[in-house]
Structure 1
Amino acid sequence: MEQESRIGDELSSSLLTAERLRSSVEEAKSFKTECGEVGKQADRLAQMLRTLVRLVAGSQQQVYDRPIRRVVADVRKNLDRALSLVRKCRRDNVLRRVCTIINAADFRRVVGFLESSNGDVKWLLSVFDGDGGDGGGGGIVISLPPIATNDPILPWVWSLVASVQMGKVVDRIEAANQLGSLAGDNDRNKKIIVDEGGVPPLLKLLKDGSSPEGQVSAASVLKVLSCDEDKVRCIVNDVGVPVIVQVLSDSPVRVQIKVATLVARMAEHDPVAQEEFARQSVIKPLVTLLSLDVFVDDLEPSSKQHSSIHSLVQMNKDPVSKAYKSFKSNVYSEIGGSGSGSGSGSGSRILKKERDNESPEVKHELKVSCAEALWMLARGNVANSRRITETKGLLSLAKIVEKEDGELRYNCLMTLMEITSAAESNADLRRAAFKTNSPAAKAVIDQMLWIIKEIDSPVLKIPAIQSIGSLARTFPARETRMIQPLVEKLGSSNQEVAVTAVISLQKFVCPENFLCAEHSKNIIEYGAVPLLMKLIRNFEQQVQLQCLVLLCYLSMNASNHEQLEQAKVLTVLEGAERLASLQNPELRELVSKAIYQLSLYNAGSHSQMLSYAGP
């Protein structure tokens, strides 16, 4: 109401200026013909301004004010120009008229300005007094006002946004679709839509549960607009996150698909959006939707060949069965009621029935969108990663990686990679989510090892290898089944896979790992040294440097291992010392320590051999 009052005041002020102009025209003593033409334009303008004031005052909904403010500002400026010119014609003193330089060209210019203002206000009336009913605007206005001369996109956006905010349902949907098409053309159009207040009407349409088609259109446009941090922040600042989370919980599947994708885009581009979504509890409904049907027909653990005997035994124990059953029992009860209070009762039952009746393809698309949203929420965010693990999301993600393929498997795998990366940097999360006896942790590790060993896809192998490396500090010394697959990947024909394996193995043998000595011996025993030497000989410098780091750790932790001597690692490190000297000081120091350690062992071995030989 305050906003509409301010608009009314601005319109009333312009109307008052138009009436003053009319009075000044009647008092003109010179250029009466030209002043009369100005008066005609002022009359037309005053009449349309009165109509516009009535429309704004009588509107039953919030008026979209951006075009009104812009047009009225130009109208005020043009009226002031005309008033200043006409007032000069009131002077009846001949000398004063001679000293005041006025000519017909000045009037032609002012009349042109007033004609443009009349065209602009007429266009405003067509936008706000269309066949829309409810005291608001109507259909989309295709014509462009004179103000569009410099930027025709701007009035088009105004018309579409006004229709989204004040039109009939069918017009709102059509306008939203056109905004999405316009936004998809280029980034400048996106910026204009956001700057001109397009986000609040779209959020209003998204919130309107009476039209799922309108919700889909609104979510699609907002997703296109969520292309960088600034635009996403505008959606957050317009209190869009609570609306999005509520719609995700309470809407039909086709709407949830678009909204989950919107969550992914916003979380991808803005860390503030990541935090705000978590604060509004979006993770629980996402995990729940992702888990639809995951455990319904498969409560028992998998009997796939890639699962170890140990894991099969563990998965059949009571705690795990309880975990599966508990998770299943909560799946449907949680859908539709998270945080909004509107997902209970008959509405929730209707939504559940609709979901049950959806085709497998639609359900699959929903899971793909939810998995991507979880991935983006977890990316670089320890708190969100912890929240996913607290919802038993690890178990669901691992099962989907096992059962599904394509984009759904990839998104779940990337989510797990982000969670393991967060666990690597946060000891509390590592201890809580990846305990040795945790069924969810066992399931995750089993799937990662299976992908590394069996799946012939670098796109999948790389995040799986990174995940095992991130969990290096969680494995006891006796647990060696993840080391051999990583060592084998050192010989991969794909350079990125090989380098990722090198980096993951570094995390097993770095000084921060308490069991670095034991892991180093195991890595050497599985044949890592010859493969590293081959990588150093055959690949570019960046690969060589990563291999040198791993060789240095192995040399420092297991300098007495005979394979290091047989492979002449000391000679390689001494030759690389000059290369290392060109790099950062930490690498140079690491190479020097490894050379020193190997030299001590070799010197000791040589002295021992001389003592056995005798004098």
Structure 2
Amino acid sequence: MAVAATVSSREEEKTLQELTIPILLADRVINSAQEAESFKQDCSDLAKQVERLSQLLRSTVRLVSTTPSIYDRPLRLIASDISKNLDRALTLVRKCKHSGVLRHVFSIISTADFRKVSNLLESSIGDMKWLLSIFESDGGTYLSLPPIACNDPILAWVWSHISTIQMGQPKDRVDAANELASLARDSDRNKKMIVKEGGILPCLKLLKEGPSPEAQIAAANALFNIATDQERVRLIVVCLGVPIIVGVLGDSPMKVQIVVANLVASMAELDPYAQEEFMRETVNRPLVSLLSIDLDLDVAKNQSAKTSIHSLVQMNKELSYNNIRYNNGHSSDGNSHHRKEREMETPEVRLKLKVSCALALWKLSKGSVSNSRKITETKGLLCLAKIIEHEKGELQLNCLMTVSEIVAVAESNDDLRRAAFKTNWPPAKAVLNQLLRVIQEESDPKLQIPAIRSIGCLARTFPARETRIIAPLVAQLGNRNVDVATEVAISLGKFVSPDNFNCSQHSKAIIEFDGVQPLMKLIRNGDRARMHGLVLLCYLALNSGNSKALEQVRALNALEGAARPVIAQHPELRDLLAKAIHHLTLYQAGAHPHRQSFAS
């Protein structure tokens, strides 16, 4: 608070300093006009204009001195413009101090010069009147235009809305934030202007201190519409917006939490740095806690006796949320100020909140080891599994995509994979069961593809005896949807890749589950299906080259026929195809060495 007060004081001093310059210039113009020896009437008229302008400037000084946290962006720009106009006026009236021959020697002055300067001063007076009308109206939104913004009315509206958000009455602040959100939604230029004119900090302040849920929703929507690229997201982070956002998410009415969760999702998707900042503020805790409302996550009592005591103790420890506190001092669930309001919310609002929280977790986990680890270290995995099992539509899809992103990260991070996806760990088992169920029972490719992809990412986790994983995948190799079948080929390729310690056993399982025949059909499809299908076929040939199933479908002929066109488009497959063809020639009758000559 002391630091904020110091910063505010410095800003006020700077603003007063910038107002001092045109006030001093105004005094000098008036004095010089009184000393004029030619064009006395014109100089007198200018002096009257400058006197009016000086009064307005002094009124503004008094206002700035007595108004805390005044919005000074338009004030500074207008003060700078007034200084330029007064400087021109001063130059003009000084030329009028000489008369007769001297006047003609030093300069030639005409009535037109006075008219130009007079018009400039009149514009400055109009700017100051507009500015005072904004400041003195308790921040009410005005859509009238100051002369300085006559060529760009959006600028005046942006100034007016930001000023109202920062200084206005509660209802006016809500309206202004909604107007600012609308302007930001209209164009990228408007977004840049809002940022340039200092609109982020007032919106964050309104979000944090919002006198009503409507005010917080309006502020969050404005920030959401402004932060549509990485640069503007980063500015919110730099303005220390992340702790504010997480704090509001943790303890607000559900309707506010929905728009704030959407803001988290958008920021996390656009900027990896924002992802990590949200992780540091443990945003996963309120998100998972809100996602798990109405869910029974106490699974320890249902576990097999084979589960170790240590595992049960650890799991119960991770599932316990009663003692978790956020950095902002709010409890994670039960002690929230808005608990009663949440309990009375409609099922539609509760569902919408869960959808938004699941979306935020999806975007936070994408490509982020730290966020994925945070989610798996809590009740996140179990919560996601339960929702995938019992929900439908957008909520189910968002949770499935979150799992897909977490396992994609775990695929390339051994520590995360071993910690979060141990085969005997109850939350991991629950997730796996749901992935298999989706693959087998769902018919929507939007659900099947992330589930299939997730199983592939975990390929190195499964022991050779875990054939229940292979069978559902093989069954989908013949799926009528080519994208689904191709994703199966990619996932099975990870099971039988040389990088997988159990590749030979998995290859045998694929063949035993009659996977060769549908695989041969797949490689007759488009380029992507053919490429991934051939990779899987090559791995099967290398691991089980003596298989009768491969011989019966003439796998060798298929590889030879596809080799040249595939290598032309995917030269990285040259060595793999050559090795597979060479390996099959060792087992299949009638093979000749020239068959792999394409690889030379």
Q: TM-score range by the shorter chain?
A: over 0.9
For residue 41 of structure 1, what is the aligned residue in structure 2?
49
Q: Contact 1:290 / 1:371 at 8 angstroms: preserved in 2?
A: yes
- Distance change in 2, residues 1:266/1:206 (3 Å): same
Which residue of structure 2 lines up, in the alignment, with residue 113 of structure 1? 120
Q: Which amino acid aligns with 1:29?
A: E
Q: CA deviation at 1:286?
A: 1.1
Task: Verify the 8 A CA contact 1:209 1:251 in the aligned structure 2.
Answer: no
1:581 deviates by 3.0
The separation in 1 between residues aligned to 2:193 and 2:128, in whole angstroms, is 21
Q: Which amino acid aligns with 1:42?
A: V
Which of the numbers 351, 367, 372 marks the counterpart of 1:380? Answer: 367
Q: Does 1:390 align with 2:397?
A: no
| TM superposition shift of 1:525 | 1.8
Structure-2 separation of matches of 1:454 and 1:320? 31
How far did 1:93 drift?
Answer: 4.5
| CA deviation map 1:244-286 (0-9, x unaligned) | 1111112222221221111111111111100001011111121
Query: After the TM superposition, which of the residue ranges 252-261 and 97-106 deviates more from structure 2?
Result: 97-106
Query: Cα 1:450–1:421, aligned 2, differ >3 Å: closer, same or farther?
Result: same
Any stretches of 5+ residues in structure 2 without a counterpart? 1-8, 593-600
Shift in alpha-carbon separation, 1:231–1:215, aligned structure 2, 3 A: same
Contact kept? 1:314, 1:320, Cα under 8 Å: no
| 2:359 equivalent to 1:352 | no
Matched, 1:480 2:467: yes
Shift of 1:557: 1.0
Alpha-carbon contact 2:95-2:103 (below 8 Å) kept? no
Q: Does 1:567 align with 2:553?
A: yes
Shift of 1:297: 9.6
Please name the residue that 1:135 is paired with. none
Is the 8 Å Cα contact of residues 247 and 328 (structure 2) preserved in structure 1?
yes
- Distance in 2 separating the partners of 1:554 and 1:298: 39
State how 1:122-521 maps to structure 2 within 5 Å. Answer: 122-130=129-137, 132=138, 138-208=139-209, 210-295=211-296, 330-331=320-321, 334=324, 337-343=325-331, 348=335, 350-521=337-508
- The structure-2 alpha-carbon separation of the partners of 1:141 and 1:605, relative to structure 1 and needing over 3 Å to count, comes to closer
Normalising by structure 2, we get a TM-score of 0.93
| Structure 2 Cα separation of the partners of residues 326 and 356 of structure 1 | 26
| Aligned counterpart, 2:86 | 79
Q: Secondary structure of 2:50's match?
A: helix
Native 8 Å contact 2:476 2:488 kept in 1: yes
Deviation at 1:428, TM superposition (A): 0.5
Report if the CA contact (8 A) 2:170-2:211 is conserved.
no
| Matches of 1:510 and 1:299, distance apart in 2 | 36
What one-letter code is carried by the residue in structure 2 that aligns with 1:388? I
1:547 is aligned to 2:537: no
Uncovered stretches (5+) of structure 1, i.e. residues with no partner: 133-137, 302-311, 607-615
SS in 2 for 1:490: coil
Q: What per-residue deviation string (whole Å, max 9, x for no partner) do you get for residues 150-191 of structure 1? A: 211011100110010011111111111111122121222122
One-letter code aligned to 2:130: W
Give yes or no for contact 2:141–2:172 (8 Å, CA) kept in 1. Answer: yes
Distance 1:400 1:177 in 2: 34
How far has the Cα of 1:488 moved from its partner?
1.9
Secondary structure at the aligned position of 2:422 is classed as coil
Q: Deviations over 1:90-144 (max 9, x none)?
A: 12251442551222222111111111111111111011111x2xxxxx3112211
Shift of 1:356: 2.3
Deviation for aligned residue 1:605? 9.6
Q: Of residues 104, 113, 121 in structure 2, which corresponds to 1:97?
A: 104
Shift of 1:361: 2.1
When residues 267 and 349 of structure 1 are mapped into structure 2, their CA distance, relative to the original with a 3 A threshold, is closer
- 1: CA distance, partners of 2:398 / 2:309: 30
Q: Separation in 1 of the partners of 2:434 and 2:567?
A: 41
**Distance in 1, Cα, partners of 2:175 & 2:301:** 49
- Distance in 1, matches of 2:312 and 2:456, equals 29
Give me the whole-angstrom Cα distance separating, in 2, the residues matched to 1:510 and 1:494: 24
Q: 1-side partners of 2:166 and 2:510: how far apart?
A: 64
Confirm or deny: 8 A CA contact 1:395 1:443 kept in the other structure. Answer: yes
Match of 2:16 in 1: 8
Residue matched to 2:515: 528
- 2: CA distance between counterparts of 1:415 and 1:504? 18
Distance across 2 between alignment mates of 1:349 and 1:162: 32
Mapped contact 2:37–2:99 kept (Cα < 8 A): yes
Residues 321 and 332 in structure 2, CA contact (< 8 A), matched pair in contact too: no
The TM-score normalised by the length of structure 1 is 0.91
Within 2, Cα distance between the matches of 1:472 and 1:349?
42
User: Across the two proteins, how many residue pairs are aligned to each other?
Assistant: 584
Correspondence for 1:588 among 556, 574, 584 = 574
Give the 3-state SS of the residue equivalent to 1:140 in structure 2: coil
Residue range with higher mean Cα deviation, 580-589 or 500-509: 580-589
In the alignment, is the contact (CA less than 8 A) between 1:490 and 1:531 conserved in 2?
A: yes
Q: Is the 8 A contact 2:297 2:382 kept in 1?
A: no
Q: Is the 8 A contact 2:297 2:383 kept in 1?
A: no
Distance 1:474 1:98 in 2: 94
2:66 matched to which residue of 1?
58
Fraction of identical pairs, as percent: 55
Contact 1:173 1:213 (8 Å CA) reproduced: yes
CA distance in 1, matches of 2:184, 2:305: 53
| CA displacement 1:471-507 (0-9 Å, x = unmatched) | 0000110101121221222211212111111111111
Structure 1 pair 314–104 and aligned structure 2 pair: CA distance change class (3 A): farther
Q: 1:331-389 CA distances to partner (integer Å, 9 max, x unpaired)?
A: 4654xx412114499x9254323322322222222211111111111011111101100
Structure 2 Cα separation of the partners of residues 359 and 318 of structure 1 = 40
Pair 1:460–1:319, CA change in 2 (3 A): farther
- SS for the counterpart of 1:511 is coil
Deviation (angstroms), 1:315: 10
Amino acid at match of 2:232: K
CA contact (8 A) 2:234 2:271 kept: yes
TM-superposed CA distance for 1:19, in Å, is 0.9
* Cα distance in 1, alignment partners of residues 535 and 573 from structure 2: 7
Contact 2:251 2:336 (C-alpha < 8 Å) held by counterparts: no
Work out whether residues 332 and 352 of structure 1, in 8 Å CA contact, stay in contact via their aligned partners in 2: no
Within 2, Cα distance between the matches of 1:274 and 1:297? 30
SS in 1 for 2:556: helix
State the Cα distance separating 1:199 from its structure 2 match.
0.8
* CA–CA separation in structure 1 for the residues paired with 2:152 and 2:400: 46
Q: Counterpart amino acid of 1:27?
A: E
State the distance in 1 between where 2:215 and 2:27 align.
44
Q: Is the CA contact (8 Å cut-off) linking 2:95 and 2:106 kept in structure 1? A: no
Aligned mates of 1:240, 1:110 — CA distance in 2? 45
For residues 38 and 122 of structure 1, the distance between their equivalents in structure 2, rounded to whole angstroms, comes to: 18
| Change beyond 3 A, Cα 1:322–1:362 | farther
Contact 1:41/1:114, CA 8 A, preserved across alignment: yes
Indicate if the aligned counterparts of 2:285 and 2:332 stay in contact, CA closer than 8 A.
no
